[in-house]
Structure 1
Amino acid sequence: MIYRREIDGLRAAAVVPVILFHAGFSLFTGGFIGVDVFFVISGFLITSIILEEMRKGTFSLVAFYERRARRLLPALFLVILCCLPFAWLWVMPEEFRDFSDSLIATSLSGANFLFWFKSGYFAPEAGEVPLLHIWSLAVEEQYYMFFPLLVIFMWKRKPNWLLATLVAIAFASLAYSEWASRVFPSANFYFLPSRAWEFLAGSICSFIESKGKKRGSDPLSLLGFGMIAFSVFYFDETSPIPSTLALVPVVGAMLVLLFARQGTWVAALLSTRAFITVGKISYSAYLWHQPIFAFARIRSIDPPPITEMGALACFSLVLGYLSWRFVEQPFRRSQHRLLPSRRGLTLSASAMLAAFIAFGLYGHDTRGIPWRLPEPIKDFIADSEWSKTCLVESGSGWDGMPIKNCIFNGSHAQIYAILGDSLASALTPALARRLDGMNIGLEQITHSFCAPVADVSMVPLQARECGAFNTAAIDYLVKSKVKTVVLAASWKIFFEQSRYVFRGEEVAKSDARQRLREAFDKTVAELTAAGIRVVIVYPHPRGDTEIAAKVAKLMHKGMPAPTITIPQDEFLQQSLPSYAYLDDPKDKHVLRVDPAKIFCGIEAGRCDLARGGKALIFDKVHFTPTGADAVADEILVALKRDDMTAGNGVAALSSDQF
């Protein structure tokens, strides 16, 4: 294949916006579309190479995969190895466990599946995920697995139909991405079926180039380059990519590939030494930039200033050049290359991948290898862990109500209950201890992902049992001797889903609001009609990052007693949608406990997620023991006030117990 300098220049035009976008430069709001341009370039080059070799009769699938391995793996292995010591020293256990999972997924070419499951690409914490960017490499590797096989199959049977087949698949993939961008936006972003048309756009360019006269065009190449630039500067994280909107950068890349020939203005720009140099090192620079940015953010107490991120962006180019020069090239050059035999390359790569997988499994199984951290940090994290005791998980099975061994202090004559999801589970030990001192037992009825609303569940698989679980729990409670039930859940998460399941029927949020309200009101009414006093624990402030890990991280950096806050207005904005549902039941036997009294008000306009070195929230949602103690105290205050004023027949709580 004839070398085209302008293609290396186009690589530079793709990688630099990605790096600057991840660095946080606000001008490059659509810099992530550089990945889409990369996919088009990859499709073009791979197809050109395969077609040329197929016509000559020299194509070998084994040789193809060897070239891909030599191209991708050495620099990738180097970057991963360099990440390990920094992760070991600086990353907190839960984050290290996630990092360990990413090692496994990267080694198995499945990083896109992991990051789809774990976190959104544009989520606030994404900037601190060292290997997040490897999702695109996984998509590319998956494409390499299937595309050559398709070409071989068609070449042997209907070679004249190959282009038509690729065009048909491309249109089907584009149509799917447009649909999925509306229905499954996160999966749409990460998965090959939504991205295949971008690779195939490059493949189509390869066919056009091989069959027609290669002509440059200033107007068309300028239009293409302008379309890419427009996408970089005017798209943002709300842009549904990939979808038909991605035709702007993708068609732009196609026009540059087809018409930016030597002699055109765009080719002259892309063929300058700066563009070609950055283009040649683009793969290594892409590998380096995200870990550098992530570890800078992990290590910094405050977000690094944009000047520092700019310097780190330049540093990623320097490291990109060094790894291209001393790692990529030695493995790829035709003469005197490292590991020249295919067998040696295969064994070495397999050994490295196996080592990464083994280390990743160890990090996952040990929950982030906490013993590697200093003793005070390790103790703090252990003491902040939220309680999962008696928390039913989807598929773990429950025989019925009451759930065995989940009645605490059951020897007492009077029993209260707590019903809800994992947030209720985190609250249970603190509440059980306080009630025990008043000769009251506590029955825990908690299922992960299951807010205490009968006949309704969220769509994720983890919530598939919620409708049945809550119905069984409420049926049991109305027939039981329990006369006080605490309802606690991650209400914000529950009430802000895009879709729900009502008795097996999946319904969009736009059609579900009234049904949600009725379902919650019905749940409370069934309990109060049975003479049960209901205590609703309202939403509490949430963080965008792991709070206990952030406190531990700040302590690790030398800040002895960190306080982590969010603006009170932000908390109120978070909670308003939930209040609309939780305020609705008007029965006199409904008590409301607002954790805002605990979290907010120490200083005007702020809510604390950690205070004086004590985390109130463990991750983003669940109470630490300290946070649970504070909320449990508020619950008992509400119960005491109700017993003193309502005269509802429930045993009064003496004032010296508060």
Structure 2
Amino acid sequence: MKYRAEIDGLRAVAVIPIILFHAGFEFFNGGFVGVDIFFVISGYLITTLLIEDLEQQKFSIISFYERRARRLLPALFLVMLCCIPFAWAWLPPQEMKDFSQSLVATASFSSNILFWLGSGYFDSANELKPLLHTWSLAVEEQYYVLFPLFLVSTWRFGKARVFWFVVTLASASLLLSEWGWRNSPTANFYLAPTRAWELLAGGIGAFIVQRRGIQNNNSLAFLGLAALLFSILVFDESTPFPSVYALVPVLGVVLILIYGNKGSYAARLLSTRLLVGIGLISYSLYLWHQPVFAFYRHATTVQHATGYVALIGVTLALAYLSWRYIEQPFRLKTIIRRATIFSLSSAAIAGICIFGVMGITSDGFAKKRNEALFKDLAYNTSRLGYVKCPESLSKNKPSLDYCHGTSNHPTALVVGDSHADDKFYGIAKAMDQYQWQLIGNSSCPPLLGVNLKAADGTVCTERLQKIFNYIRSQEQLELVVLSFAHAYPLDTFIAADHVQRKFDPRDSIITDIKNPQLNRADAFYGGLAKTLELLNQLKIKVVVMVDIPELTFFPLDCIKGKTECAFSKQEAITRQALHRRRLAELGARFANVKINDPTSIFCSGDNCSILRDGHTLYRDSHHLSLFGSLYYGRRFATWFQQSNIDILTASRELKTRPD
């Protein structure tokens, strides 16, 4: 295969927008299409090599995988190894555990599956994941495993028929992606079946070039280049991707590959020395930019454009060094033999996977690292010995995030969203006179008679119905504690996690099923009133928790000394004014309901802090740490006793009293 300088120029056109997009330069909101450009180029080059080897009857699957290993693995393993000390120093336990999972997934060529199971690509929390970008490498690696085998097995039918097989596969994959963005957008973005058509499009281009040669058509080549620029500058995260929209950059690359002869204007532009130089180091540039940016975000509270400009310079330097001293030597068989490349790759994969598994099983090495800094931020209740709910509750769709406790015959429930989950551990520990169970779902407050879809996309309506059906079936219940975030019906989020993830409460759907004209706040607290009415009918005593104060900062930044650990009591109460007023009205309305205000847990007088006894009460900007949960539970139990509420006795009297 002859060298084409314009392909290196295309690589530059792919990687530059990706870097600028991830650096937050809004002018390049469509920079993510750079990955699609890479896919088409890879499909073209791989198919060209395979066709040449098959036609010359010298194809070897071992030689093919050797070339891929030499090309991809050395620089990738270098970047992964360099990430580990920074992750060790800067990541709290849960994020270190997540990073460890990504190490294992990347080393096993399955990181796209891991990130698919996690969250959407455009979630701002992903900006903090050092190895997020390896999802595209996983897609390519999975393609490299299957496509050569497909080509070899079908080659006996003749090249013409194989071409149409490839066209058919590409068409099916494109149709699947068009279905996917409507029905499962995250899977559609990350997984190989809906991305394969982009690589296959490059393969189709390779078949055409093999048959007809590279054509010289200025208009079509320039149209291809214009299509790329249009995609980069006009597309944004609201553009369904991949889908038929992706045909714009994909066909743009194909047009350049087929019609961009070195005499064309597009090829001349792409063959300029600067673009070719960037293209040569583009793989290393791609590998380095995400961890450099991610660790910068971990290390600083506020990021600036000037900082990203400096980091782009650092990335360029790192990319050149790894290209010059890692990529190039490992590609030369005269320097490193086949056996050596396979043995080194195997050793690197094994070592990285072992380290990753250790990080996963130890909850991010929480006990081995700086305990004063990280211990309280770890949050894992999976080893606390809770009894899991029956599969009919926990697994059967719609599945529930939270369903476990000290018994499957509970006398007391904690019901709610993640703000119930973070309190359950401490309450159950401090009040062991009850058989406790937690039942609920993240982002789903316990509202009856409400259609609810949270701002993060969680659909709650059927899950909530499942929860209330379960409550109705538990005749032995004596106490229900309702705990949930208060910000759902508000117009803004202020918790640092929500701000970072760019969540907007106005993106949620909160409508009363019987009266859809109600505003969001009335529908929200009307749904809570219906929940209390149901529990009153069931003669169950209820405690409703006032929500804990939201933090406008991250506890990790406070512990590191990057920001104050204090917050304003007055501001917290003012923020919760609607919440407190509505809960007070409901508390006065229902005799079986008590309202618990946790403000004194965090505040002494007007002074509030997230620190107690050398520990942090919060693990993030709106959830308690395990220490905070224990502390909260003890204070709640004391309040419970001091309130002179013998709920156990009162509940039994209610249940035995005739209607």
Instruction: Name the TM-score class by shorter chain.
Output: 0.7 to 0.9
Answer whether contact 1:520 1:581 (CA < 8 A) is retained. no
Could you report, residue by residue, the CA deviation over 1:141-162 in whole angstroms, capped at 9, with x for unpaired residues?
A: 0011111111111112354321
Could you report, residue by residue, the CA deviation over 1:214-235 in whole angstroms, capped at 9, with x for unpaired residues?
A: 3222222222112111211222
Offset of residue 398 of structure 1: 9.4
Instruction: Tell whether 2:260 aligns with 1:278.
Output: no
Give the count of matched residue pairs: 605
Tell me the SS of whatever aligns to 2:239: coil
Q: Which amino acid aligns with 1:347?
A: S
Structure 1, gaps ≥5 residues long: 496-508, 652-658
Q: Are the structure 2 counterparts of residues 68 and 416 from structure 1 closer, same or farther at C-alpha, using a change threshold of 3 Å?
A: closer
Name the stretch that deviates more: 423-432 or 152-161.
423-432
Q: Are the structure 2 counterparts of residues 120 and 603 from structure 1 closer, same or farther at C-alpha, using a change threshold of 3 Å?
A: farther
Whole-angstrom CA distance in 2 between matches of 1:114 and 1:565: 39
Q: Tell me the residue number matched to 2:360.
A: 364
Q: Tell me the residue number matched to 1:38.
A: 38
Q: Please report the RMSD computed on the Cα atoms of aligned residues, expressed in angstroms.
A: 4.7
Q: Tell me the residue number matched to 2:623.
A: 622
Q: Tell me the residue number matched to 2:480.
A: 485
Whole-angstrom CA distance in 2 between matches of 1:461 and 1:100: 30
Written as runs of structure 1 = structure 2, the 5 A alignment for 1:142-153 is 142-153=142-153
Instruction: Tell whether 2:449 aligns with 1:446.
Output: no
Could you report, residue by residue, the CA deviation over 1:352-401 in whole angstroms, capped at 9, with x for unpaired residues?
A: 1111111111111111112343342245446x8779857554677999xx
Q: Tell me the residue number matched to 1:234.
A: 234
Q: Tell me the residue number matched to 2:556.
A: 552
Offset of residue 285 of structure 1: 1.0
Whole-angstrom CA distance in 2 between matches of 1:566 and 1:52: 72
Instruction: Tell whether 2:561 aligns with 1:562.
Output: no
Aligned residue among 513, 536, 543 for 1:535: 543
Q: Which amino acid aligns with 1:171?
A: S
Whole-angstrom CA distance in 1 between matches of 2:448 and 2:386: 18
Could you report, residue by residue, the CA deviation over 1:476-513 in whole angstroms, capped at 9, with x for unpaired residues?
A: 2xx3372x421235688999xxxxxxxxxxxxx98996
Aligned residue among 581, 588, 591 for 2:590: 588
Q: Tell me the residue number matched to 2:304.
A: 305
Q: Which amino acid aligns with 1:555?
A: I
Written as runs of structure 1 = structure 2, the 5 A alignment for 1:249-398 is 249-300=249-300, 302-334=301-333, 336-338=334-336, 340=337, 342-381=338-377, 389=384, 393=388
Whole-angstrom CA distance in 2 between matches of 1:182 and 1:594: 43
Aligned residue among 467, 472, 475 for 2:473: 475
Offset of residue 137 of structure 1: 0.3
Answer whether contact 1:599 1:609 (CA < 8 A) is retained. no
Answer whether contact 2:406 2:435 (CA < 8 A) is retained. no
Q: Tell me the residue number matched to 1:500.
A: none
Q: Tell me the residue number matched to 1:13.
A: 13
Q: Tell me the residue number matched to 1:100.
A: 100
TM-score, normalisation: structure 1: 0.78
Whole-angstrom CA distance in 2 between matches of 1:603 and 1:217: 77
Offset of residue 14 of structure 1: 0.3
Name the stretch that deviates more: 207-216 or 170-179.
207-216
Q: Which amino acid aligns with 2:305?
A: I
Name the stretch that deviates more: 103-112 or 595-604.
595-604
Name the stretch that deviates more: 175-184 or 611-620.
611-620
Q: Which amino acid aligns with 1:526?
A: L
Tell me the SS of whatever aligns to 1:446: strand
Q: Are the structure 2 counterparts of residues 353 and 591 from structure 1 closer, same or farther at C-alpha, using a change threshold of 3 Å?
A: same
Whole-angstrom CA distance in 1 between matches of 2:326 and 2:149: 29
Structure 2, gaps ≥5 residues long: 395-402, 491-507, 517-522, 653-659
Offset of residue 555 of structure 1: 2.8
Q: Are the structure 2 counterparts of residues 348 and 510 from structure 1 closer, same or farther at C-alpha, using a change threshold of 3 Å?
A: same
Answer whether contact 1:28 1:233 (CA < 8 A) is retained. yes
Whole-angstrom CA distance in 1 between matches of 2:202 and 2:219: 20
Q: Tell me the residue number matched to 1:224.
A: 224
TM-score, normalisation: structure 2: 0.78
Whole-angstrom CA distance in 2 between matches of 1:107 and 1:462: 36
Answer whether contact 1:422 1:447 (CA < 8 A) is retained. no
Whole-angstrom CA distance in 2 between matches of 1:351 and 1:117: 28
Offset of residue 532 of structure 1: 2.3
Whole-angstrom CA distance in 2 between matches of 1:337 and 1:447: 61
Answer whether contact 1:418 1:442 (CA < 8 A) is retained. no
Name the stretch that deviates more: 615-624 or 24-33.
615-624
Answer whether contact 2:569 2:603 (CA < 8 A) is retained. no
Q: Are the structure 2 counterparts of residues 599 and 11 from structure 1 closer, same or farther at C-alpha, using a change threshold of 3 Å?
A: farther
Q: Are the structure 2 counterparts of residues 98 and 262 from structure 1 closer, same or farther at C-alpha, using a change threshold of 3 Å?
A: same
Could you report, residue by residue, the CA deviation over 1:284-307 in whole angstroms, capped at 9, with x for unpaired residues?
A: 11111111111111122x233111
Whole-angstrom CA distance in 1 between matches of 2:145 and 2:404: 48
Q: Tell me the residue number matched to 2:116.
A: 116
Q: Are the structure 2 counterparts of residues 520 and 360 from structure 1 closer, same or farther at C-alpha, using a change threshold of 3 Å?
A: same
Q: Which amino acid aligns with 1:446?
A: L
Q: Are the structure 2 counterparts of residues 213 and 70 from structure 1 closer, same or farther at C-alpha, using a change threshold of 3 Å?
A: closer
Tell me the SS of whatever aligns to 1:485: strand
Name the stretch that deviates more: 621-630 or 581-590.
581-590
Q: Are the structure 2 counterparts of residues 221 and 159 from structure 1 closer, same or farther at C-alpha, using a change threshold of 3 Å?
A: closer
Q: Which amino acid aligns with 1:363?
A: G
Tell me the SS of whatever aligns to 1:247: helix
Q: Are the structure 2 counterparts of residues 510 and 7 from structure 1 closer, same or farther at C-alpha, using a change threshold of 3 Å?
A: same
Whole-angstrom CA distance in 2 between matches of 1:392 and 1:460: 25
Could you report, residue by residue, the CA deviation over 1:119-168 in whole angstroms, capped at 9, with x for unpaired residues?
A: 33222221221111111100000011111111111112354321111111
Answer whether contact 1:595 1:631 (CA < 8 A) is retained. no
Tell me the SS of whatever aligns to 2:618: coil
Whole-angstrom CA distance in 1 between matches of 2:318 and 2:262: 30
Tell me the SS of whatever aligns to 2:363: coil
Offset of residue 405 of structure 1: 4.4
Whole-angstrom CA distance in 1 between matches of 2:509 and 2:92: 39
Q: Which amino acid aligns with 1:337?
A: I
Tell me the SS of whatever aligns to 1:371: coil
